[in-house]
Structure 1
Amino acid sequence: MKAKYDFSQGEQGKFYHPDVVFEFPIYLEPDVNEFMTELAKQQGVEINILVNEWLRSQIKKVDEVRSS
């Protein structure tokens, strides 16, 4: 590592984009991942699509319980 770095030609905020949305990765436990991967293969869809569908169905159920 250098003792000094020259930032005189640097541009402040060059890589800053205020409208960027960060998507958090979600890590499944091995048993859940194995089950969902196999089910996604059987249905011919990508695992992220299947997981999102499952989560949406759970959200719908929670909303139904809350509204009753």
Structure 2
Amino acid sequence: MKKEYDFTNAEQGKFYRPLNELDIPIYLDDDVKTFFMQKLKNVDKDFSLNGIINSLLKQDIEISKKLAV
């Protein structure tokens, strides 16, 4: 390391991104991924794995809200 660094042209927060703007990767277990990929093969419509997982999680959230009341 140098004894001194020149920060005269530095820009504070240049690479900062709020946490809610970051896409966090979610890794599925192989058996879960295989199950959903098999389901997607049998569907005629244009579904994505991302869309199906998000839909299921939203349903789970709604169920949890109803149970918490």
Shorter-chain TM range is 0.5 to 0.7
Q: Per the alignment, in what secondary structure is the counterpart of residue 59 of structure 2?
A: helix
Q: Give the count of matched residue pairs.
A: 63
- TM-score with structure 2 setting the length: 0.67
Query: For 1:10-49, what aligned pairs fall within 5 Å after superposition?
Result: 11-13=10-12, 15-16=14-15, 18=17, 21-43=21-43, 44-49=46-51
- Structure 1: 5+ residue stretches without partners: none
Query: What percentage of aligned pairs have identical amino acids?
Result: 21
Q: Which runs of 4+ in 1 moved over 4 A?
A: 17-20
Measure the CA separation in 2 of the matches of 1:40 and 1:51: 12
Q: Per the alignment, in what secondary structure is the counterpart of residue 56 of structure 2?
A: helix
- TM-score with structure 1 setting the length: 0.67
Retained in 2: the 8 A contact 1:40–1:46? yes
- Structure 2: 5+ residue stretches without partners: none
